[in-house]
Amino acid sequence: MVSVHFWPTAMFEFLGRLPALTGSLVAMVITAGVGLGVYVGLSRIISRSQSEDLKEGAGNLFRVVGILVALLLSLAFGQVIADWRAIEDAVDREAVAIGDLLSGLRLYDVEATREIRTNLIDYTHTIVEDDWPAMAENELSFRGYALKKRISAAVLALTPTNERQELVKPRLLDDVDSLSDYRLIRLNHAQGQTPFYLPVVVFGFLVSIVCFGSYRPNAALLLLVTLYAAFFGLALYLVVSLSDPFSGGNAIEPTTFERLLHWMQDVEN
């Protein structure tokens, strides 16, 4: 995905940072207002040419454009949901690697690795308290980087003195490598980038609203246009909101790491 500098998308990205209920309601109101404005404004012009051919052509165009808009929205949903699940999977795997590293360090030598385990607990605490807020701004904390570097150097410096430690050391190194990998994955997905074709979806929505203009406004049509536009706003809001997984009302919470931190502290105490 690439970043899109398109004002409707930028507006929805701003709304995506609001609480979920507030953002979705505002998005629905905005698109409903735009839809009604376009429909009522153009209907005064288009509906002057009252002909069955015009209505039939507008109806056919609406069906084609509506299908394309629906397909593109489905594609966007599939894309952001797949990315969302990949992030959740990476978070779970990172937590498993941290827990496995703690267990491995205790198995290696409880006394010799005490300082490393303390740093590992601090690192997990930093993920929750420092990394998570920083990822809402597309960054990672420097403290987390420093602690990870210190842990990596300490594990690398361990010198096995018996057969068990020789067997455990490669496992520790693998876990440390995993920490680096999953940390970079979190940073990559923290960028909050929307699908590049969302402007096409917005344009298709406006075209479909224009097609309503061949019919004179009445209470039933005004209600249909309002519902259609509001639903489109809700769908677009969800796509944009889920594209930024670490900020806004639909942000992924560090619950996994919070539970892991409690377990680590219990084990060490």
**What's the rounded Cα separation, in Å, for the pair 126 and 144?**
6
Distance from the first to the final alpha carbon of the chain: 45
Q: Write down the pLDDT at residue 53.
A: 63
Kindly report, residue by residue over 102-159, the tens digit of the pLDDT.
999 999 999 999 999 999 999 999 999 999 988 888 888 899 999 999 999 999 999 9
Q: Give the burial string for 250-265 (b: 16+ CB within 10 Å, else e).
A: bbbebebbbebbeebe
Task: Report CA-CA distances (Å) from 49 to 46, 52, 110, 120, 248.
Answer: 6, 10, 85, 73, 46
Place of tokens 């808009």: 69
Task: Report CA-CA distances (Å) from 2 to 127, 238, 243.
Answer: 26, 18, 11
Torsion of CA 61, 64, 65, 66, to 10 degrees: 110
Give which of 121, 141, 123 is closest to 131, Cα–Cα: 141
Which residue ranges in the chain fall short of pLDDT 70?
1-17, 47-54, 192
Domain chopping of the chain, boundaries: 8-83+206-242, 86-192+253-268
Q: Write down the pLDDT at residue 103.
A: 94
Whole-structure pTM value: 0.78
Q: Write down the pLDDT at residue 57.
A: 74
Q: Write down the pLDDT at residue 1.
A: 37
Q: Write down the pLDDT at residue 48.
A: 63
Q: Write down the pLDDT at residue 86.
A: 84
